Amino acid sequence: MTSEDTCSLRGKVVAITRPEGQAKETAELIERLGGTPYIVPMIEISFQRNRQKILDFIHGITSGDFDLLIFLSVNGVRSLFSTAQEVGLASNLSEEMTRVQVIAIGTRTLQELRDQGVEKAVVSNRQGSEGLLEILEEFRLDGLRVGIPRSSRADEALKEELEARGAFVREVIAYESTIPSDKSRVTRFLVDLSRGDIDAVTFTSASIARNLFTIAQEDGSAQTLRESLGNTRVAAIGPMTRKALESLGVEVDAIPERHSIEAMLVALAENFNLDRGE
């Protein structure tokens, strides 16, 4: 049996719930593993609502106001740099970020930083505050000035934990994360899922899981959704996403050790292969 066999999604229809515009990479990975991608965005991302606050945060970085920056997602990186580009500060931003410590959650966030010219960064392959706090054990947090660009849906647990350890934390809502304004694709997905036309569903954030159930609750199909997910395979990118799904009554079948889309899909493929005794 080859490694290609053990990591195959051949013949499987795999749902991608990532935001519009971010699903292409995942779709290509699924196809590379032999599967068929089913794109159904469960979350909508917008960058501009807090533009002045983002600009103030960027000026803080370029003025040397931070010792440490923490990026929780690709969207946080893109929001800062797209806004900086608009006002001609992108090069200043990337230059200043080489002078402070930068931590990224996940390899994709790390790659986005590198694409923007930020080479010096530490990556946490564990999702959420647990993985970050492991890395931060190496830092003296007392008096450290920390900046965190985050989603409108993120809670303040990380901020509170860092402040409890003596850090000065400044957050900015770098992007809005909402339920899709057009829910028609999600409605069709719910029907296809209940018919057994989808073999697996992938979740890359807790917000995506909660959005799906909010939409299902609106049309009275939450229990049907729960049952349908119980008859398919569910993959979560990390422990926080798994925790959110489990709180909604959904059992998670596959979760990777490393926080990345590719690792999640490999874990999913390996879970399917268990059925074949491989």
pLDDT tens readout for residues 217-273:
998 999 999 999 999 999 999 888 999 999 999 999 999 988 789 999 999 999 998
**In this structure, are residues 209 and 245 in contact, taking their beta carbons and an 8 Å threshold?**
yes
Structure tokens at 233: 């395979």
Structure tokens at 211: 């959005």
- Tally of CA atoms within 13 A in the half-sphere of 104 that contains its CB: 24
Instruction: Give dist(CA 159, CA 109) in Å, integer.
Output: 20
The pLDDT assigned to 273 comes to 85
What sign does the dihedral 114-116-120-124 (CA atoms) show? negative
Higher pLDDT, 159 or 154: 159
**In this structure, are residues 203 and 235 in contact, taking their beta carbons and an 8 Å threshold?**
yes
With a cut of 90, say whether residue 185 has pLDDT above it.
yes
The pLDDT assigned to 3 comes to 44
Long-range CB pairs of 191-194 (<8 Å, 24+ gap) are 192/38, 193/15, 193/225, 193/228, 193/229, 193/232, 194/221, 194/224, 194/225, 194/228
Q: How confident is the model at residue 7 (pLDDT cuts 50, 70, 90)?
A: confident
Q: How confident is the model at residue 4 (pLDDT cuts 50, 70, 90)?
A: very low
**Range among 73-77, 157-161, 193-197, 237-241 rated most confident:** 193-197
Instruction: Give dist(CA 8, CA 35) in Å, integer.
Output: 8
Q: From residue 176, give the alpha-carbon distance in Å to each of 79, 116, 150, 207.
A: 10, 21, 9, 12
Task: Determine the average pLDDT of the residues in 141-164.
Answer: 88
**In this structure, are residues 211 and 177 in contact, taking their beta carbons and an 8 Å threshold?**
no
Q: How confident is the model at residue 49 (pLDDT cuts 50, 70, 90)?
A: low
With a cut of 70, say whether residue 26 has pLDDT above it.
yes
Structure tokens at 254: 């596959």
Structure tokens at 232: 């398919």
For the chain, list the domains and their CATH numbers: 3-43+181-274 (3.40.50.10090), 46-178 (3.40.50.10090)
Q: How confident is the model at residue 157 (pLDDT cuts 50, 70, 90)?
A: confident
The pLDDT assigned to 278 comes to 47
**Portion of the chain with pLDDT greater than 70, in percent:** 92
With a cut of 60, say whether residue 128 has pLDDT above it.
no
Q: Tell the residue number behind the tokens 């440490």, with chain if given.
A: 68
Closest CA to 234 of 209, 254, 216: 254
* Predicted TM-score (pTM) of this structure: 0.79
Secondary structure letter of residue 33 according to DSSP: T
The pLDDT assigned to 1 comes to 34
pLDDT tens readout for residues 165-178:
899 999 999 988 88
Higher pLDDT, 131 or 201: 201
